[in-house]
Amino acid sequence: MNQTELLDEARKKIIVAMDVPDIFAAHRVARPLAPHVGMFKIGKQLFTACGPEVIKLIKGMGGEVFLDLKYHDIPNTVAMAGLEAARLGVKMFNLHALGGPEMMETTMKALRAEYPDPENRPKVLAVTILTSSNQETLKAVGIDLPVKEMVVKLAKLAQACGVDGVVCSPQEIELIREACGPDFLIVTPGIRPADAKADDQKRIATPGAAVAAGSNYLVIGRPIIEQPDPVAAAQAITEEIVQVLQQ
Ligand code: C5P
């Protein structure tokens, strides 16, 4: 790969978390960043406030969208919601693996029927165990398996149901890569450049370390959007990823 291709490959790995309250803030944040990052993550707050308008806004800027609504419902409802997300043109959306095999299989089947070419359909990611949950949380809902075992069990289940990958903490990358192989997508939040504040994140990794460990995409919010120069922050992260890709 030449330098331009490497930069492009690195840039595409950055997913900016749009943790902003309204469409004006979304516009302000996404516009300068759109040419410099791979995707924008729209979560429950922004989507509840703005609806599909915010997806149109970002796509209109040439940006791509990861719709982070973490679907978890009866199989038909999740499948139909997933189809609507696909029709809005999102590149990725996610669901909870705890929704079970039928929910995941029904969703993937519905997507495959409408988008026979896998390149044209959104990638679907599973949430295994939320990183805000610990052993106590699992016990309280009747799950006795250790958290790490549950994470691997749910990642493998999602893969067996045709789901494309998972969202997980940087600490889980190697475990999941080993269990699910090289083609399973791994998307990691909890990313902090070496000189950045941890904020409320507890288990963090640098962009370079996460990519070196096997992460395909990095979800990064405050270390980009709350910097005085977000474009420069995104470019510095891209450079750090390039160093790893070159090795
Ligand atoms: O600002 P920061 O980089 O910490 O933002 C991380 C983003 O990733 C937030 O939108 C957060 O909700 C999300 N996320 C996370 N940890 C998870 C799953 C999602 O931080 N386990």
For residue 69, the SS3 value is strand
The residue-averaged pLDDT of 50-60 equals 98
**Is 82 in contact with 93 (CB distance < 8 Å)?**
yes
DSSP string, 131-196: TT--HHHHHHTT--S-HHHHHHHHHHHHHHTT--EEE--GGGHHHHHHHH-TTSEEEE--B--TTS
Taking only the tens place, the pLDDT of each residue in 88-106 is 999 999 999 999 999 999 9
Average confidence (pLDDT) over 184-189:
98
The single-letter DSSP state of residue 96 is: E
- pLDDT value at residue 166: 98
Instruction: For residue range 6-17, list pLDDT tens digits in order.
Output: 999 999 999 999
Q: What digits encode the pLDDT tens for the residues 212-244?
A: 999 999 999 999 999 999 999 999 999 999 999
Position 131 confidence tier, pLDDT thresholds 50, 70, 90: confident
Ligand 1 near 189 CB (within 6 A):
yes
Q: What is the pLDDT of residue 201?
A: 83
Active site residue 202: no
In the prediction, which pLDDT does 9 show? 98
Task: Please identify which of the residues 56, 70, 153, 156 carries the catalytic annotation.
Answer: 70
Residue to probe by mutation, ligand 1, list 18, 67, 219, most atoms within 8 Å of CB: 219
- Nearest ligand 1 atom to alpha carbon 41: 10
User: What pLDDT, on a 0 to 100 scale, did the predictor assign at position 29?
Assistant: 98
Confidence of residue 202 (pLDDT cuts 50, 70, 90): confident
Is 203's pLDDT higher than 90?
A: no
Token duo for residue 125: 């990611």
DSSP-based three-state secondary structure for 218 = strand
Task: Indicate if the pLDDT at residue 110 is higher than 90.
Answer: yes
What's the mean pLDDT when you consider all of the chain? 97
CA angle 243, 126, 153 (to 5 degrees): 100
Phi, psi dihedrals of residue 68, rounded to the nearest 5°: -100, 75
Residue found by looking up tokens 């490497």 in the block: 6
